[in-house]
Chain A
């Protein structure tokens, strides 16, 4: 299995809602990532989990909260988002060290209304 699976594929939420994005991989990768991608822009790194520990946390607003329950699963909890948070959220995984390239999921298209 060489895939990273993300659910849901599309999500519309209000600014007062709480929702979660889910990501799963079964490639034995020990590093997992959340990226945010706006239209016609490159992906931007939000969070990195290495061996289920949050190793870096870019200056992302606290309304985004990552969670890594085990080595195969990654969640992104969303609360009180703003319309400008609307974007494609990509999950990725890699072998430890990142010297092997990232495998991306197909993403969740999020719209905040």
Chain B
């Protein structure tokens, strides 16, 4: 049930762009994106609820392709503060009811 993320890690220089992908073999009904800095709590970035939806958050935006069961997070003109681990996550149903699962994460390092 866990989504797959790629790449596992990426290193950027300040001002460079990056794309993080999240995909699933199961249907994705919605996709959440979070960023977690080392030693801190995950922080909610955005949620995409419908296929074809695109959202932006400062210089961070995301798209959701429901048919392809994937979502992508776009980071443009990266800043040092963008460093951290990015998780996608999605709700699903199991025997216990509605559940939620995070992808394994993509570690992003932005260097000066």
Residue ranges of A at the interface with B (Cβ–Cβ < 8 Å): 40-45, 48, 55-58, 90, 98-107
Contacts and interface: CB of A to CB of B under 8 A. Distances in A.
A43 B91 contact: no
Main SS class of interface, B: strand
B41 A106 contact: yes
A57 B89 CA distance: 19
A95 B104 CA distance: 25
A56 B96 contact: yes
Given A98-B91, A99-B47, A107 B100 contact: no
Contact of B104 (A42, A48, A98, A105): A42
B1 to A, nearest CB: 11
B14 to A, nearest CB: 25
Instruction: Give the size range of B's interface with the partner.
Output: 20 to 34
B77 interface: no
Interface centre among B42, B47, B87, B102 (most CB of A within 10 A): B42
Given A55-B97, A56-B96, A57-B96, A99 B42 contact: no
B46 interface: yes
Given A90-B42, A99-B47, A101-B32, A56 B99 contact: yes
Contacts, number: 53
Contacts of B96: 56-58
Interface of B: 30, 32, 34, 40-44, 46-47, 49, 87, 89, 91, 96-105
A56 B101 CA distance: 14
A57 B96 CA distance: 6
A45 B32 CA distance: 15
Contacts of A102: 32, 34, 42, 44
A56 B99 CA distance: 8
A86 to B, nearest CB: 16
A43 B42 contact: yes
Given A42-B105, A56-B97, A56-B98, A104 B87 contact: no
Nearest to B46: A101
